């Protein structure tokens, strides 16, 4: 860091780095409340609560449970095309992983200073690497679409009962990750929404209070929190 940057930067305790906030006005039906929304810094608690929610959701789909039987019955009545797409969604990650193994990106170039490589030479190699990676990505995408179309045709010929068995894990997986996202949302808002007059005080007394919020209120708070976070470290999953 140069002296100019040092003079502009604010010196804070290390425990406060990554934590910042702003006042937010939440409005609904002609009424409003002002709160303070701040980032958490450490999101471990929210993530752990999200994983706990996944485990609870999985328990609902244990063999012999009513929820599993109800889901199976619903899938038996679903259009075949919907079942096929669910099955494809479940298989797609494995297809993508296989294609990446078969057609991996080349190793990222590093400047060979010892050999006297100049900046412009290195920049040219970096650009060539970028173009090569882009070409490989496009090729993998095309191959993936071919594989998906082939597999889609195969699945359309499968018996409904077998198709339901293939589609059901994807539906359960989706419900589990939705539960994860909701739990993360709730715990992030519990810890991140503070009293506007006292930023040390949480606005909500419990996660149950957050869960009971009107959807429009919760969505305003979620958007406010997301706006504070750098794009690469959003805590609140979308959806």
Asked whether residue 95 is assigned to any structural domain, the reply reads yes
**Dihedrals φ, ψ of 199, to 5°?**
-70, -10
Q: What is the pLDDT of residue 183?
A: 97
Assign 8 a pLDDT band (cuts: 50, 70, 90).
low
Averaged pLDDT, 9-19 = 80
The secondary structure element, H or E, covering residue 125 is: helix 119-156
Averaged pLDDT, 199-227 = 96
Cβ contacts of 188 within 8 Å, gap of 6 or more? 40, 43, 46, 225, 235, 236
The SS3 assignment for 179 reads helix
Cβ contacts of 211 within 8 Å, gap of 6 or more? 186
Asked whether residue 197 is assigned to any structural domain, the reply reads yes
**Overall domain count for the chain:** 1
Q: What is the pLDDT of residue 231?
A: 61
Q: What is the pLDDT of residue 238?
A: 43
Asked whether residue 224 is assigned to any structural domain, the reply reads yes
Q: What is the pLDDT of residue 160?
A: 96
Assign 234 a pLDDT band (cuts: 50, 70, 90).
very low
Q: What is the pLDDT of residue 5?
A: 47
Asked whether residue 149 is assigned to any structural domain, the reply reads yes
Q: What Rg value do the Cα atoms of the chain yield, rounded? A: 25
Asked whether residue 78 is assigned to any structural domain, the reply reads yes
Contact 24, 220 (CB under 8 A): yes
Asked whether residue 29 is assigned to any structural domain, the reply reads yes
Asked whether residue 238 is assigned to any structural domain, the reply reads no
**pTM for this structure?**
0.76
**d(C-alpha 224, C-alpha 228), whole Å:** 7
Q: Could you identify the residue written with the tokens 């099955």? A: 87
Domain, as residue range, for 50: 3-233
Q: What is the pLDDT of residue 127?
A: 95
Averaged pLDDT, 105-111 = 93
**d(C-alpha 71, C-alpha 80), whole Å:** 15
Asked whether residue 239 is assigned to any structural domain, the reply reads no
For residue range 44-93, what is the model confidence (pLDDT) as tens digits? 999 999 999 999 999 999 999 999 999 999 999 999 999 999 999 999 99
**d(C-alpha 46, C-alpha 127), whole Å:** 40
């Amino acid at each position: 860091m140069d002296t100019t940057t040092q003079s502009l930067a604010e010196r804070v305790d290390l425990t406060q780095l990554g934590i910042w906030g702003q006042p937010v006005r939440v409005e609904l039906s002609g009424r409003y409340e002002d709160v303070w929304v701040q980032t958490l810094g450490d999101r471990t608690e929210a993530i752990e609560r999200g994983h706990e929610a996944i485990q609870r959701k999985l328990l609902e789909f244990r063999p012999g449970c009513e929820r599993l039987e109800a889901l199976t019955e619903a899938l038996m009545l679903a259009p075949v095309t919907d079942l096929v797409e669910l099955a494809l969604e479940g298989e797609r990650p494995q297809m993508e992983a296989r294609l990446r193994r078969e057609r991996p990106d080349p190793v990222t170039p590093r400047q060979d200073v010892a050999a006297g490589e100049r900046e412009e030479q290195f920049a040219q190699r970096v650009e060539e690497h970028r173009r090569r990676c882009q070409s490989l990505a496009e090729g993998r995408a095309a191959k993936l679409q071919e594989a998906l179309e082939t597999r889609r045709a195969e699945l359309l010929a499968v018996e409904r009962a077998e198709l339901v068995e293939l589609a059901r894990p994807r539906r359960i997986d989706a419900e589990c990750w939705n539960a994860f996202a909701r739990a993360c949302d709730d715990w992030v808002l519990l810890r991140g929404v503070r009293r506007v007059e006292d930023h040390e005080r949480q606005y909500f007394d419990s996660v149950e209070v957050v869960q009971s919020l009107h959807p429009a209120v919760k969505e305003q708070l979620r958007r406010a929190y997301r706006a504070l976070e750098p794009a690469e470290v959003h805590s609140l999953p979308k959806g």
